[in-house]
Structure 1
Amino acid sequence: MMRAALARGWGRLGWRGLALLLSGISWITYGASLTVQPRYGTVRGIQVLLGWVDMAVWGWAWIGAGLVAAVYAVARPGRDLPGIAAAMAPPLLWAAAYALGGLSGTSATAWGAVMPWGTHATLIAIVAYLTRPRLIVPRVVRHGEH
């Protein structure tokens, strides 16, 4: 009974859904930590973004993206693109902000956060690509061909 339920759950989720679910949970918890008490290095590293809105707003943006990613974890491949975008956008934004923070001199150690954030987004893209729906295109046979 339990094994059958797990098999049905895995059949619905799969690797693609698991990647979205884990990203979603991660972004929700990370966003919550940003709203409660952001780390000093994070504040310095993304200083370029804090000119637009304060850290609490960015925290809620991470939470929102996490919720979207988690909800779309059970969507069928091809219909889960909002979830994939939500899983990729925050870490890509953070990677860009840290890169700009390092280049502008607001944080001498910001460069160390560019690859970890960028890599997470890249891994989501890889999983999405490898698990994309295969389109079956019928072969068109013209008159006179066999």
Structure 2
Amino acid sequence: MLFPRIRRHLGRRGALLVIVGAGEIIWGLQFVLDPAPNPQGLTLLTEVAPVHYWAWMWVVAGVAAVAAATVRIGRDWPGFAAALAPPTVWSTAYVAAGLAGEYTRGLWIAAWYLSSHVGVIMWASAIPEFAAAPPAVPAARPVKEGAA
């Protein structure tokens, strides 16, 4: 079967990177492909570049996360770092807009990004791939009576 083989190859960390990466690609593409995306609350970013440009950060980070899912454990950290960048940057913009009173809902959106995106990615990057059970202590063999 194809899926169990892929799942074994990716492992837990790789599977999470694929899921998060795919989500980031989709999230970024919705801004890239929309002819007039709503940049409400993203003034901090749109003062530097249009929202379409910032959306490419999501797409590129998602591709990097998916690519990092295929490498050996311990070498996947660039995927986690890439996955953290977009929600962290956009959270910062939403916090700035919320504190400035420009977009008060931005504080709620930032809290959501920080908990459901940044928090989950950081948690997943810290978990070991395989939680090994403690080694089993072999039981002593009973000695037969009369055996020399």
TM-score computed with the length of structure 1 as normaliser = 0.81
- Give the Cα separation in 2 of the matches to 1:74 and 1:20: 9
| Root mean square deviation of aligned Cα | 1.8
**2:3 matches 1:27:** no
1:15-45 per-residue CA deviation (whole Å, 9 max, x = no partner) reads: 21111111111111111111122653xx121
In the alignment, which residue of structure 2 is the partner of 1:53?
49
CA contact (8 A) 1:78 1:133 kept: no
Distance 1:53 1:21, change over 3 A: same
Separation (CA, whole Å) in 1 of partners of 2:99 and 2:5: 49
- Percent of matched pairs sharing the same residue: 30
Question: Counterpart of 1:122 in structure 2: which amino acid?
Answer: G
Which of structures 1 and 2 has the larger relative contact order (alpha carbons within 8 angstroms, sep 6+)? 1
Q: After TM superposition, what 4+ stretches of structure 1 lie above 6 angstroms from structure 2?
A: none
**Unaligned stretches of 5+ in structure 1?**
135-146
- Would the aligned equivalents of 2:37 and 2:51 in 1 still touch at CA under 8 Å? no
- Count residues in correspondence: 129
Long gaps (5+) in structure 2: 132-148
Q: Distance in 2 between matches of 1:133 and 1:84?
A: 18
Match of 1:111 among 89, 107, 117: 107
| The structure with more radius of gyration | 2
Q: Are 2:59 and 1:63 aligned?
A: yes
Counterpart of 1:76 in structure 2: which amino acid?
Answer: R
